[in-house]
Amino acid sequence: MKHTQGSIEVVCGSMFSGKTDELIRRLVRATIAKQKVQVFKPAIDIRYAVEKVASHTGSTFDAIPVERAADIHLKLDKDTTVVGIDEAQFFDPEIVSIAQSLAGRGVRVLVAGLDMDFRGEPFGAMPSLMAEAEDVLKLHAICMVCGGNASRTQRLVNGKPARYDEPIVIVGASELYEARCRLHHEVPR
């Protein structure tokens, strides 16, 4: 089934907020509606499975790993009407024009990713994708210090907050990261 109008929908938030679960929920609904769905993820993300997007809760959906955003066009089937993109913050800036191009052709583009890096700063192309989107949903996790709403991702090194000058991208899960609220998020300089 073809959409009459393309769109970009972004699901963002900190780690452990349920971004990939929400992406998978939307992808499953599109599949039930008999829409042709293809999902892409950065090849760098091999935490759970190489050819699946996987949430921390164990939900999965088949996905095609790609090295660069431009590879999405190369691997896209002509009859695809819904494109899912997980961990969009890891893609190069061209991911924005790819999403715009797909939406312009009538494709529903579902994007999930971290809106902020461990420093609490905008992450990769996510701010631009959010600005271009018709719909943005920001999810919250639970702060591991106080139990309040967490909007930030805390990187830990030997159990202590990572310093500001640490590398931005280190792929990991609960062994390296936890969710924190604004008050309890720490980034020593």
Residue positions annotated with a catalytic role: 87
Contact yes or no for 134/6 (Cβ under 8 A): no
User: CA angle 19-22-28, nearest 5°?
Assistant: 140
In whole angstroms, give the CA distance from residue 1 to residue 33. Answer: 8
> DSSP readout, 103-159?
HHTT-EEEEEEESB-TTSSB-TTHHHHHHH-SEEEEE-EE-TTTSSEE-EEEEEETT
In whole angstroms, give the CA distance from residue 24 to residue 41. Answer: 13
In whole angstroms, give the CA distance from residue 11 to residue 24. Answer: 11
Buried-state track 48-72, b at ≥16 Cβ within 10 A, e below 16: eeeebbbbbeebebebebbeebebb
